[in-house]
Structure 1
Amino acid sequence: MSNYRRYRIPGGTYFFTVNLLERHSNDLLVRHIDLLRESVKQTRKRWSFHIDAWVVLPDHLHCVWTLPDGDEDNTNRWRVIKQAFSKALPATEKRSAVRIARGERGIWQRRFWEHMILDEADYANHIDYCHINPLKHGLVKQVADWPYSTFHLYVARGLYPSNWSNDSDFLDVDEGWR
């Protein structure tokens, strides 16, 4: 078994990218958005964390979380979210022989990408990255048109204007985030 090294800070803030196993032309996450929301809600009851930003795209998601003081375990939180979501869906996906032997579903990629937020500028960049993503992927013409994002909460709180990122200057900044 691989031993992954992750930078862990108790009570830290992290950016995540979590992907479906079969990403091409798969809209599973938005098709079952209520199930995903419920999976996150139930996980937060057991393993609390603060959602700083979140965007759900058809085949992957990005989010920023802050863990409780003294807690550095985001891995189990993701395990619980993925399991709850997977268990609630009928087993219709293709599975490899390895996944079948391990009793695993074929819905999620096993791992996720994580980045420890280092400072306020890094935090702001990753919050923006979450919110700009539907536009970046060509899913909408305006960020405000994507319904599965915390962008709307940020607008309601006065942190973004409703037409945020509609100019081409912002998209030039996005090029540096790849």
Structure 2
Amino acid sequence: MNAKRPKIPLEKLEKSTFERVISFLSMLIFLGSLAFLALVWGDIPDRVPAHFNFSGEVTRHGSQWELLILPIIGLVIYLSMHLLEKYPHMHNYPIEITESNAEEAYKISRSMLGMLKNTILVIFSFIMINASVIALGWGDGVASLILPLVFLGTGLPIIIAIVKLVKLSLRDGT
């Protein structure tokens, strides 16, 4: 169980420069989307797109206040995953975690969570901006790109992490 897994100090699991840049850029996009919403808030009509189907067509409209739910949910998920990143010994793994592979496995899992939390923050920002653009009548938006972005943005980091962990297990003989 998780209790028997080795605990590695966070300093040894430090983020790479690439991971720091991705985190910075995702937070910049998130803050930029909030600034955008603040700038256009007075021009947004009372009814805004609130749900899209698989084709990207609007299937439900809601109050303009629903636009605030998106960044709130994105931020809550981001902060929850940020906290979870700090406890990689508690994550679920498709391999057995041993003293010899723990540090590398924890880095892989922490990195995957980092990519997921940043992707989710950007996706929620993107959905909010897309709904705002449509509500303002500035165009049809790009809602049809959201679903592929969700699948690629969340699926790819998971697949990459699983492949790395399996390779680690095969190399380690566990």
**TM-score greater than 0.5 by the shorter chain:** no
Higher gyration radius (CA): 2
**Whose strand proportion is higher, 1 or 2?**
1
**Whose RCO is larger (CA < 8 A, sep 6+)?**
2
**Whose helix proportion is higher, 1 or 2?**
2
TM-score by length of 2: 0.28
